């Protein structure tokens, strides 16, 4: 029996969302180019992202955890906290995620360094991750940055791993030329029409069995 009645739980959940939304918006004001949306993704979009997971997804990585909308959806889907790694570059959002999800490994780091992160954190064997959910703003990134992120992602994904990305644009945020260069295929999943703004979900997979090598980056 719960010690907190349903109305109280609902009020606490609402207050938690308000706090998260304000934190997210404040970080957007500080650096709008680094955070590609005015507000966190909706639960409707989270459902569309979760639908694209492999049926028996074990190890999962989330890139750009934000306020934890996708993180919560992954846990509700049945992903075990110990099998989930969340990477968030923004330090304040990283602290928020740590507070909200104490059982999940939350790392403050760069998606381009994902290969090194999972080795350092001993999260999984390289090439054994089943899926990566991305809340990154790929659409606003240069082709070179996209290449480094996707290369790092597919260096840790298994042979049938999926990179699941949402975008506010009318098409895949990754060009056909770059997909061909990296040996990747893409198909569109669902569309969250009631998200603000509406967002489409795209799923990227290998179209060949050879591994993509990680691109190591060095901070200056």
At 214, list the tokens. 């990680």
pLDDT (0 to 100) of residue 128? 94
User: pLDDT at position 26, please?
Assistant: 43
Determine if the peptide bond prior to 197 is cis (ω within 30°).
yes
CATH of the domain at 122: 3.40.50.150
Residue 212 falls inside a structural domain? no
Q: What is the pLDDT of residues 32-41, one digit of tens each?
A: 444 455 445 6
When pLDDT is cut at 50, 70 and 90, the band that residue 217 belongs to is low
Q: Is residue 67 part of a domain?
A: yes
Least-confidence region, from 54-58, 92-96, 214-218: 214-218
Closest by CA to 129, choosing from 87, 183, 68, is 87
Residue 114 domain flag? yes
Domain limits for position 65: 6-206
pLDDT tier, 133 (very low <50, low <70, confident <90, very high otherwise): very high
Nearest to 75 by CA among 89, 66, 86: 86
Residues of the chain with pLDDT > 70, as a percent, come to 75
Q: Which of 20-34, 46-60, 118-132 has the lowest mean pLDDT?
A: 20-34
Question: Is residue 85 situated within a structural domain?
Answer: yes
Secondary structure (DSSP) of 67-122: TSHHHHHHHHHT--GGGEEEEE-SHHHHHHHHHH-TTSEEEE--GGGHHHHHHHTT
* CA dihedral sign of residues 37, 41, 176, 188: negative
**Across the beta sheet with 199-206, what order do the strands follow?**
105-108, 84-88, 60-63, 129-134, 157-167, 199-206, 184-192
- Dump pLDDT digits (tens) for 140-182: 999 999 999 999 999 999 999 999 999 998 899 999 999 999 9
The reply to whether 217 falls in a domain is: no
Indicate whether 215 belongs to any domain: no
Within a domain: residue 186?
yes
Average pLDDT for the chain: 83
Number of domains in the chain: 1
Task: Rounding to the nearest 10 degrees, give the CA dihedral for residues 140, 145, 149, 150.
Answer: 90
Computed on alpha carbons and rounded to an integer, the radius of gyration of the chain in Å comes to 17
């Amino acid at each position: 029996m719960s010690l907190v009645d349903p109305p109280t739980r609902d009020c606490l959940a609402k207050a938690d969302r308000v706090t998260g939304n304000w934190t997210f918006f404040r970080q957007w004001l500080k650096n709008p180019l680094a955070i590609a949306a005015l507000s966190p993704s909706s639960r409707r979009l989270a459902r569309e992202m979760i639908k694209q997971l492999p049926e028996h997804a074990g190890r999962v990585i989330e890139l750009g955890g934000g306020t934890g909308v996708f993180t919560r959806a992954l846990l509700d889907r049945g992903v075990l906290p110990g099998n989930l790694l969340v990477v968030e570059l923004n330090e304040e959002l990283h602290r928020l995620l740590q507070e909200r999800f104490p059982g999940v490994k939350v790392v403050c780091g760069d998606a381009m360094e994902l290969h090194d992160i999972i080795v350092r954190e001993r999260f999984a064997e390289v090439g054994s991750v089943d899926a990566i959910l991305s809340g990154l703003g790929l659409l606003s990134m240069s082709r070179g940055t996209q290449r480094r992120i996707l290369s790092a992602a597919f260096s840790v994904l298994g042979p049938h791993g999926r990179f699941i990305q949402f975008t506010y644009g009318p098409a895949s945020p990754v060009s056909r030329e770059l997909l061909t260069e990296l040996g990747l295929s893409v198909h569109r999943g669902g569309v969250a029409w009631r998200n603000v703004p509406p967002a489409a979900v795209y799923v990227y997979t290998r179209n060949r069995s050879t591994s993509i090598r990680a691109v190591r980056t060095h901070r200056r």
